[in-house]
Structure 1
Amino acid sequence: MSTALDIQEPQNRAVAPRPAAESDNPVVSILSRLVMDPSLPVERAEKVFAMYYEAQDRARLQAREDAAIAARNAYFAAMSACQKELPVVTRNQRNTHTKSNYADLAAIEEQAMPIIHAHGFGVTFQPCGYNELGELQIKWQISHSGGHVESDIAGIPVDGAGAKGTVNKTGTQAFGSTATYGRRYLLCMLFNISTGDDNDGNAIANGRAGDGPISEEQVRELQRLIEEVGAWTPKFCEVYDIEAIPDLPASRFDHAVQNLRTYGHRNHQTGGQDR
């Protein structure tokens, strides 16, 4: 019995087609013929190939730019649709020091994150050291399923003391409290999430119900004014029935600025005795 292997090539084997880039691209076909032409000077051939590769690079760059623009447009379209569906989150906690209500992180995530995720967004927060003001820096990032990403770093004042300025937390507790507060504040700010009390007539009268918090720039403006006029942050929060400066409703920002300026003028006249 023969042990020889049958190595004949099958007669009906399909021939793999050449890639479209090689068989259908007219520029590649022309370049291939030029390379085979012995009369073509080497220098000219090099220039032709250089022009071709430059054109390819430009095309790839343009494609990336077009894709980035499309992803950015999809991001903002989704953000707009998302914000239309986000509810006013109920303030479910009470701050006994400032005697104000607030929505904790769990309530905000429970009511807002399903909608945020449904529109293709992912949100991350990453502590990244402290800045020159001693604030905890938190890097936030919002990514969208379309490929666009927005990110920045925000400075959050460390929460290590009570309403009277007395230290009431260990370093670890202060870090955890500040990080949690930063996530809560940033999530509301970035997605324009409002918080409100159930059936709170006073909140409506004061312009707080359905009213989003002030921006990060406005927070810094108020912090600058408070320091400039010699005011006291806990007292400011007590006056406006908020837990912290970033909780101030946007509709009350102008009023707060005017109050601080009036306070500063009066404090200057009394020699700093009006605190």
Structure 2
Amino acid sequence: MNELISALIRARSEFQPIRKDKVNPFLKNKYATLDAVLEAVEPALRQNGLTIVQTTEVNGDQTVLKTSLYHESGQSISGHYPLPQTDDPQKLGAAITYGRRYALCAILSVTADEDDDGNAAHTPTPKPAAANGRGTITKAEWEARKRSPAQA
């Protein structure tokens, strides 16, 4: 493992800055596509005898993305990223691309997203809208919710 780690340390010092080339339309944050990440890291990986291989595997009823970092010495490290179960080939393809980007960044310890301090992982619970459409509830609506929250 020592040769792989030494080569990875050298390669990391040669990685180009990862260009954040897309904007998430929902969160409005910038991120790097898989192509942008590969463009930034592949030349340094090759120069240091390293390559990435990403394949899908089925473990029981779960499909996983396996990401392996190989060194020319034969040493390697791997990680597994579970993929969502779906019968829709387009959704699976999108999940594989998304997983490839995250797994690649993880195995190389690089970042392809803006640091939002975990805010994207936390979605606030929406407040119930008032029945009267004014954003406030009447006393009668309040009493009804207190008596039967599930029906209000």
TM-score tier (shorter): 0.5 to 0.7
**Equivalent-residue separation in structure 1 for 2:78 and 2:89 (angstroms):** 26
Match in the other structure for 2:123? 235
Q: Quick check: 1:148 aligned with 2:36?
A: no
The correspondence for 1:118, drawn from 39, 44, 47, is: 47
1:5-41 Cα offsets, whole Å, 9 max, x none, are xxxxxxxxxxxxxxxxxxxxxxxxxxxxxxxxxxxxx
The correspondence for 1:185, drawn from 66, 82, 102, is: 102
Match in the other structure for 1:137? 64
Contact 2:79 2:103 in 1 (8 A): no
**Equivalent-residue separation in structure 1 for 2:10 and 2:108 (angstroms):** 11
**Equivalent-residue separation in structure 1 for 2:58 and 2:9 (angstroms):** 32
**Equivalent-residue separation in structure 2 for 1:157 and 1:235 (angstroms):** 20
Change (3 A) 1:194 1:153: closer
Change (3 A) 1:189 1:152: closer
Change (3 A) 1:126 1:87: same
Counterparts of 1:194-273 in structure 2 under 5 Å?
194-195=111-112, 208=115, 235=123
How much has 1:194 moved relative to structure 2? 2.3
**Aligned residues, how many?**
125
1:114-167 Cα offsets, whole Å, 9 max, x none, are 1111111111111113666x6x41112111012212223221446x7xxxxxxx
TM-score relative to the length of structure 1: 0.40
Counterparts of 1:67-106 in structure 2 under 5 Å?
72-106=1-35
How much has 1:191 moved relative to structure 2? 0.6
**Equivalent-residue separation in structure 2 for 1:121 and 1:234 (angstroms):** 36
Match in the other structure for 2:93? 176
Secondary structure of the equivalent of 2:123? helix
Unaligned runs of 5+ in 2: 125-149
CA RMSD of aligned residues (A): 3.2
**Equivalent-residue separation in structure 1 for 2:111 and 2:80 (angstroms):** 22
Contact 1:87 1:193 in 2 (8 A): no
Structure with bigger gyration radius: 1
Contact 2:22 2:32 in 1 (8 A): yes
Identity between Structure 1 and Structure 2 (%) = 23
TM-score relative to the length of structure 2: 0.68
Secondary structure of the equivalent of 1:195? coil
Contact 1:121 1:142 in 2 (8 A): yes
Structure 2 residue identity aligned to 1:149: S
